[in-house]
Amino acid sequence: EAQVTQNPRYLITVTGKKLTVTCSQNMNHEYMSWYRQDPGLGLRQIYYSMNVEVTDKGDVPEGYKVSRKEKRNFPLILESPSPNQTSLYFCASGVVGELFFGEGSRLTVL
């Protein structure tokens, strides 16, 4: 089954404790992206990747890092999480004309 898998789905952590949200896709897509969704703000792009070893900042990259060492994986790294990074995060992969989204990772930073 074609899918984008994110883990963890839910996480409560404390300020400053590094965490990684993993994202994996099985559709051989070159393009992958991370979004955060906040009430009243819609989806905002954090980082995107056009291919292996190619990553670029989106609209809200501050406080986040990504890597793309393999085509299927695109982890999102929060080196020192802060409460303003409490949000619902989505990973997506796709081709021109259609994005496929993961089920989301709800992160709470205390």
Partner 1 sequence: SQQGEEDPQALSIQEGENATMNCSYKTSINNLQWYRQNSGRGLVHLILIRSNEREKHSGRLRVTLDTSKKSSSLLITASRAADTASYFCATDVGGADGLTFGKGTHLIIQP
Q: Which residues bind partner 1 (CB under 8 A)?
A: 4, 31, 33, 35, 40-43, 45, 48, 50, 56, 58-59, 88, 90, 92, 94, 96-104, 106
Cβ 18 to partner 1 shortest distance, Å: 25
Cβ 97 to partner 1 shortest distance, Å: 5
Cβ 31 to partner 1 shortest distance, Å: 6
Q: Are 37 and 59 within 8 A, CB to CB? A: no
Q: Which helix (H) or strand (E) holds 19?
A: strand 19-25
Residue 6, CA atoms < 13 Å, CB-side half-sphere? 25
